[in-house]
Amino acid sequence: MFDWLVVGTGFAGSIIAERLASQRDEKVLVIDRRSHIGGNAFDRYDRAGILIHQYGPHIFHTNSKAVFDYLSQFTEWRPYQHRVLAEVDGMQVPIPINLTTVNRLYGLSLTSTELEGWLAARAETVEQIHTAEDVVVSTVGRELYEKFFHGYTKKQWGVEPSQLDKSVTARIPTRTNTDDRYFCDKYQFMPTAGYTRMFERILDHPNIEVMLDTDYQYVKSSSRFRRLIFTGPIDEFFGNRYGKLPYRSLSFKHVSLNKRRHQPVAVVNYPQTNDYTRVTEYKHLTGQEHPQTSITYEYPSDHGDPYYPVPRPESAELFKKYESLALATKDVWFVGRLATYRYYNMDQVAGQALATFRRIDEAIERPIRRMRVALHAELTA
């Protein structure tokens, strides 16, 4: 008998399982339908012996000290500042758009102050910023939008940027200085021994049992658990009762090359050409020394595993219906990117999992039998 069944071994499921096991001394069964732990952050050594990310590049960045401190119990870190180039008009220039990007692309030598005026002269007036297109054209104007955002976004999401919520492109800032880092967060690191090793350590607790290759649908009628944490797609949990929520998928082409270096930075984006959106070379992220190198091409698709919730008004409305069902479902908690249908990064999912654990711990009394044992241990110490 388990106190909890946790569905999913990604950030959401693994962190909640660890908290329940270590802080409440409860017995937790964690399942995943995949044959590995770690969810989409899973990494592995490929045939060449290079550490790659099975589901595309995962770069850890956060401003949350609480999340960073929590994960630091389970991994050492390698400092890493992420830089991305976009291939535009036959050149590879930095994205987010910054002073270097504009000067290189247009053969100019503007200063930061001059760039502010240059952009202001091109920015379009948008009364109310609602869409992914609005955000960009109102900041850098239509020409740069077309070069960097329109094609990439259409390829990535399969719809026009004007059909997507502003939050999608608002992830990418515009800078008038020469800071070419993709992220500005306080903590930017990669787990030294990889994500999978970190997850092994999170799940390594005597109160936790892990079962892989196990889909929730085959265990849901079991009476071996009392409460449930679900981190898979919320619409699937409710049998798609109100219709399927839209998700965007990707297919990944992993390739090893007989050379040390393939590209100057970890990620190169292709907003104007090719069917793939970006190419990742992992050795930049991991710092691994190896005579060969491994890269991944990402091809967006409507079919396949659900990787991205699609932020647009119709899906938000449909999600609300499922959320109401979720709130009315006793003894089940929904956590993570697919279960709460939010375009969350790893650190946001980790923060959400820690917050959900705190709410559970406040709402449900800790099991008395274990409190007695703990008290006894304290008195006899």
Residues forming the site for ligand FAD (CB under 6 A): 7-13, 31-34, 39-41, 55-59, 215-216, 231-232, 250, 307, 336-338, 344-347, 349
Within the chain, residue ranges assigned H as helices are 11-23, 65-72, 99-106, 112-122, 132-140, 142-144, 151-157, 195-203, 216-219, 234-237, 283-286, 313-327, 346-363, 368-380
Of 31 and 86, nearer to ligand UDP (C-beta) is: 86
Match 């770690």 to its residue by tokens. 38
**310 contributes a contact to ligand UDP by CB under 6 A:** no
- How far apart CA 208 and CA 29 sit, in angstroms, is 6
- How far apart CA 362 and CA 265 sit, in angstroms, is 46
Of 171 and 241, nearer to ligand UDP (C-beta) is: 171
Contacts of 234 (CB under 8 A, 6+ apart): 245, 319, 322, 323, 326, 334, 338, 339, 340, 341
Match 């008395």 to its residue by tokens. 368
Task: Report phi then psi at 309, rounded to 5.
Answer: -65, 150
Structure tokens at 50: 């290079």
- The site map against ligand UDP for 200-239 (x = CB under 6 A) is ----------------------------------------
Of 27 and 147, nearer to ligand UDP (C-beta) is: 147
- How far apart CA 111 and CA 82 sit, in angstroms, is 24
Of 134 and 194, nearer to ligand FAD (C-beta) is: 194
From ligand FAD, ligand UDP, none, interface partner of 13 (C-beta below 5 to 8 A by class): ligand FAD
**153 contributes a contact to ligand UDP by CB under 6 A:** yes
From ligand FAD, ligand UDP, none, interface partner of 153 (C-beta below 5 to 8 A by class): ligand UDP
CA 182 to chain centre: 15
Of 182 and 216, nearer to ligand UDP (C-beta) is: 182
Match 């409190």 to its residue by tokens. 371
Q: Given candidates 171, 253, 261, 320, which one binds ligand UDP under the rule CB under 6 A?
A: 171
Give strand pairing partners of 191: 77
**358 contributes a contact to ligand UDP by CB under 6 A:** no
From ligand FAD, ligand UDP, none, interface partner of 41 (C-beta below 5 to 8 A by class): ligand FAD
We find the least distance from the C-beta atom of residue 269 to ligand FAD, in angstroms, to be 13
Of 144 and 349, nearer to ligand FAD (C-beta) is: 349
Of 118 and 270, nearer to ligand FAD (C-beta) is: 270
We find the least distance from the C-beta atom of residue 141 to ligand UDP, in angstroms, to be 15
Q: Reduced to 3 states, what is the DSSP secondary structure of residue 29?
A: strand
Of 98 and 153, nearer to ligand UDP (C-beta) is: 153
Q: Which residue is nearest to ligand FAD (CB)?
A: 39
- DSSP letter string, 222-264: -SSEEEEEE-S-HHHHTTTTT-PPPEEEEEEEEEEESSS-SSS
- How far apart CA 57 and CA 290 sit, in angstroms, is 19
Burial of 368 per CB tally in 10 Å (0-12, 13-18, 19+): exposed
- The site map against ligand UDP for 271-290 (x = CB under 6 A) is x-------------------
We find the least distance from the C-beta atom of residue 344 to ligand UDP, in angstroms, to be 10
**85 contributes a contact to ligand UDP by CB under 6 A:** no
Of 57 and 134, nearer to ligand FAD (C-beta) is: 57
Q: Tell me if 326 sits within 8 A of 229, measured CB to CB.
A: no
From ligand UDP, ligand FAD, none, interface partner of 55 (C-beta below 5 to 8 A by class): ligand FAD
- How far apart CA 311 and CA 208 sit, in angstroms, is 35
Q: Given candidates 48, 110, 159, 172, which one binds ligand UDP under the rule CB under 6 A?
A: 172
We find the least distance from the C-beta atom of residue 68 to ligand FAD, in angstroms, to be 12
Structure tokens at 233: 């797609």
**139 contributes a contact to ligand UDP by CB under 6 A:** no
Binding site for ligand UDP (CB under 6 A): 86, 95, 148-149, 152-153, 156, 168-169, 171-172, 269, 271
